[in-house]
Chain A
């Protein structure tokens, strides 16, 4: 019986790895070498442990996601792989605006997306929002009219409920 190719879905995979040299490239090599997508990837040490946690947003059919999970597991420094179903997911974005824009409106928009203006300089301000990745996308659409000069997204982090 052959596996049918199925529709591509967005999935979030968390990987717990030993903190050691080149562990990140083992993960990213695996994705590139096997032709899997990485939409976003975040990594940071887990406090008070020898491990780090990676959150990878990827896309693929159920079969591909299953392979990704198994292949990640095969890597020697990988402790655990979670392929999330029910999760809380957040992403941060920083946006730089010219100071001449309507700061009041920007500030109100930021608040609607769990954010605020976090820095201001002589000719620019920086706003921050932290929300679900999809909502961060909505925010970035909404602020287009205020001439954002630079946008940086953090990539998603997630925890299972």
Chain B
């Protein structure tokens, strides 16, 4: 059929099963928005900033496991979106982002709202396209969705000049993707798998090191089975929270800079790291030369470039995790789980020596208590998004995650302002779950305009602002490593968060006690409308334990021992 480029975009979305698109219109993308107006195949959510559109699509993708879709205009619309693209790229989030571009005749003339969008998005997308002929659009969009969700997922950016969206061409979406140069490696090499199983069987102190790839690959279930059948303890990265349930006896905890003492010690003492979909990020490894020093490394990853990038893999296996772990499970009888009993006990001893905890020694509420309390009250019924900073680490440490895709955070890029729009996307994907965004008094202001989006679309996100009047994580580093020179981190100047939410049509609470907090959260869940719960917390609380930047995992700054109340 002969249709316009703009119509092709709509048809493609419907054919791909897209039900929600996040975006913001503008001059160069108007033809497409005109078609959005005419259709009812999917819902468009109007964010109030392009960056928020991308984060919302990320939240949607992370919570649903589907490809997130966002649409923006050229020039500033696109440049506003770049942070989101980079965020999605770092965290391997499957996304298709469409941007308008000035008409082809104006490209290269410094036209109004012109910027070399594909030039800018190149290093922060998995792939990108500038479409110069509407006849190419069906193929390009089909490839874009395919590339976004296969292999190591990531964002794909498609830049479409305005005249191409107006151009009429033949549309046929019933085509096969045929990319000779892109063939992700799905199945693990059987010989390597056999060797890895032998290595596990021979190891005395093996340790699972689970990364976000487990969630991306939809492998949580088989990984749980693998862990339970082998009886091998597991640590999770920030991105892997929820792969194992918080109450799983074999879950040691989160490792890394703010990981638990037991996790980091287990990693330091292990003789075999079984890395599944993790990428040995610097926030995880600390000082590389001391990381898992006496261990061999099995590394399963869909991305060959992640293998032996930072830590040499003795048993590299390239493949899709779900596939590889399923193959590994077939040989599991070679592994005797009783063999690791004393190793499990060693790890329990680490945890008893320095448990992950906090002291309630302040007149003000402790931020960790707030996280724990939300966990007690909402637990599995909530999806948890965060912004970036101290609150993010406390949420990762203390929330009782029980399932994959429950935890939505900006890990790789560490984008302040991610949480609120992401939580909107999460709620759009999972309307039956309460969508919580743990945020800080710094982060929340970085996409606060999303109050309007949430009010307009009736998406009830509950933002829990852990307010310490500081840019807390930077303040913590200044306290610890810059001799308490708190340069530009004191955020005493603040809006009235309650009134701010109310001004947009949301609701707000300011709480200072446990009772007030419980009442506010209960009320917010019942009212089902976008909420700010501002919790006044201890100003100088530090995230502990902590591996100082560049330090070794086994050399942690620990919480001072005190008699707990």
Contacts and interface: CB of A to CB of B under 8 A. Distances in A.
Interface stretch (B174-182, B194-202, B239-247, B523-531): B174-182
Contacts of A155: none
B418 interface: no
B312 A3 contact: yes
A77 B179 CA distance: 9
Contacts of B126: 76
Contacts of A78: 181
B93 to A, nearest CB: 17
A1 B130 CA distance: 43
B127 interface: yes
A78 B127 CA distance: 12
B304 A2 contact: no
A74 B303 contact: yes
B312 A1 contact: yes
Contact of B296 (A1, A17, A70): A1
A81 to B, nearest CB: 11
A78 B180 CA distance: 9
B305 interface: yes
Interface stretch (B257-265, B285-293, B409-417, B461-469): B285-293
B181 A1 contact: no
Contacts of A74: 303-305
A126 to B, nearest CB: 35
B123 A29 contact: yes
B14 interface: no
Interface in B290-312: 291-293, 295-297, 303-305, 308-312
Contact of A33 (B123, B147, B296): B123
Interface string A12-44: 000001100110011001100100000000000
A66 interface: yes
A79 interface: yes
A15 to B, nearest CB: 11
A71 B180 contact: no
Contacts of B122: 22, 25-26, 29
B310 A3 contact: yes
Contact of A1 (B179, B180, B305, B311): B311
B452 interface: no
B168 interface: no
B314 interface: yes
A1 B304 contact: no
A77 B288 contact: no
Interface string B180-191: 111000000000
Contacts of B314: 1
A63 B305 CA distance: 11
Contacts of B118: 22
Interface in A102-157: none
A33 B120 CA distance: 12
Contacts of B295: 1
Contact of B180 (A21, A63, A70, A79): A79
B119 interface: yes
B89 to A, nearest CB: 12
Contact of B288 (A2, A33, A70): A2
Contact of A3 (B132, B147, B311): B311
Contacts of A70: 304-305, 309
B289 A2 contact: yes
Contacts of A17: 181
Contacts of A3: 308, 310-312
B91 to A, nearest CB: 16
A33 B122 CA distance: 10
Interface of B: 118-119, 122-123, 126-127, 130, 132, 147, 179-182, 288-289, 291-293, 295-297, 303-305, 308-312, 314
21 contacts: A1-B292, A1-B296, A1-B297, A2-B291, A2-B311, A18-B180, A18-B181, A21-B132, A22-B119, A22-B122, A26-B122, A66-B308, A70-B305, A74-B304, A76-B126, A76-B127, A76-B147, A76-B181, A76-B182, A77-B181, A79-B180
